[in-house]
Structure 1
Amino acid sequence: MGPDFDRLHPQLRRRFSVGLASGEACTGRGVMDRVWHGGAFVKPFLALGATRNILVPRAGRRVPFVIENVPYTDRYGRETVTFVRTFDLPGRPRRFDAQMVLSPKGDRILDYLGTHQHLASDLHLRAEPDGSLLIRSGEHRFREGPVDVRVPELLGATAEVRESYDDTAARFRISVRVVNRRFGPLFGYEGSFTAAYTPVRPRPDLRPVREERRG
């Protein structure tokens, strides 16, 4: 983000400074006021994605939520930060896994999704005038073995994440929308959480089963 990072609220700057250099991990705990889905046609895709901890197949209100940001060095020597979200939905908890890695040229963030990192997307980050953070996903790619293809717009989607800090409530607020250009809103959630910082320690349970080398 360069100088734009300094425009973020101080609490956001600390949360997004989690890394090996800081020696800190961050755990956010709170409640999603709403976890929502688009039309009925979305459900099969959400159910399929859920088998690899991508997206969440159930909707709900007042859903307890945890996000765990833990830095580590992956098998290719890259510093990686987990963004593992757990939604305590009725029946059983559901996870939405992602790992963020700096691109080889250091000019963008790569977001690897799921337990096997089959999906990857560029992330574009921007500080808003009120000190909040706006994150938008770019092109998605599917990678498995020799396969490395762009996900067509008909099947892909754009994610928009807005995160801010509410000084009055002393809580982070977050809103996420995943939208397909043709079919409209697919999935999202909105709510708030508090954050606690702890020294970094190994968390193999948060790491993917398979790691993707291609940037």
Structure 2
Amino acid sequence: MASIYEQALGAEFRKLHPRIQERFGFGSRDRVASIGHGTMEQVWYAKWAVAPLLLGATRHIMFPQGGRDIPFNIRNYAYVDSFGRETVTWLRAFRFPGAIRKFDATMIYSEKRSRIVDYLGSKQHLAVDLELSAEPNGGLRIRSSDQRFYERWLRFPFPRTLTGTADVCEWYDDEAGCFQIRVQVVNPMAGPVFRYSGTFQAAFVSVAPHDIPLDAKPLREEARE
């Protein structure tokens, strides 16, 4: 079975660098995880956004802390969720002096929407449609579009003016022999909200379905896409 990223990109998946194809080409049947370690050269946030970022930090969605040369790790596990959907985790941890900040998400391929849906945070209360493309350097670019808020009986589109649009690019640098990543979140009215960039190494490790750590899965799964 094709990975959720290959389903979303179709033939364009083959335009990705071979190392990027490896990182985004596995699924639950492969019984592996991609584990990465590196350094973010810069982590930055807008001072005006402290209040919403503090709220987001409680659910592992961005955070109001910045710095340079921040140790970083990323864990991507693939599993089938309780609704039978192929799922891939993005578990990012930033090790600041005195604090570990987390930025978590789980992604599925939605047949209904014909695209990947990204559930942000630890309780899948924010669902974001993603647009994927292959970059000229063989990298994968991910841009967010429509967002929806789910909390118990509540459901409503989340206005972009109250949140931000994410632009993520991950590529493999042959000369440096490492993965590079650049992430920026921008509010259409107020400007940049949050960003980070840096490098990391990643390798596959064997993981049976029952060995996926509990913290790799959200505290609550949302059926609505």
Tell me the TM-score normalized by structure 2.
0.92
Match of 1:191 among 198, 205, 225: 198
Cα distance in 2 for residues equivalent to 1:188 and 1:203:
28
1:102 matched to 2:109:
yes
Structure 2 partner of 1:51: 58
Cα distance in 1 for residues equivalent to 2:140 and 2:146:
20
**1:56 Cα offset (Å):** 2.1
Q: Name stretches of at least 5 consecutive residues in structure 1 with no aligned partner.
A: none
Q: SS of the counterpart of 1:75?
A: coil
Alignment deviations for residues 97-152 of structure 1 (CA, whole Å, 9 cap, x no partner) = 10001103372001000111111101110001221111100111110112111111
Q: Is the 8 A contact 1:18 1:26 kept in 2?
A: no
Instruction: In structure 1, give the amino acid aligned to 2:222.
Output: E
Moved over 2 A (4+): none
Q: SS of the counterpart of 1:93?
A: strand
Structure 2 partner of 1:204: 214
Cα distance in 2 for residues equivalent to 1:106 and 1:78:
14
Q: SS of the counterpart of 1:154?
A: helix
Alignment deviations for residues 151-177 of structure 1 (CA, whole Å, 9 cap, x no partner) = 112202100001110111110000000
Q: Name stretches of at least 5 consecutive residues in structure 2 with no aligned partner.
A: 1-8
Cα distance in 1 for residues equivalent to 2:123 and 2:143:
22
Cα distance in 2 for residues equivalent to 1:35 and 1:112:
22
Match of 1:32 among 23, 33, 40: 40
1:85 matched to 2:95:
no
Aligned residues: 214
Q: SS of the counterpart of 2:138?
A: coil
Q: Going by fraction, where is helix more abundant, 1 or 2?
A: 2
**1:17 Cα offset (Å):** 1.1
Match of 1:21 among 11, 26, 29: 29
Tell me the TM-score normalized by structure 1.
0.96
Identity, in percent, stands at 48
**1:205 Cα offset (Å):** 1.3
Structure 1 vs Structure 2 CA RMSD: 1.1
**1:66 Cα offset (Å):** 0.4
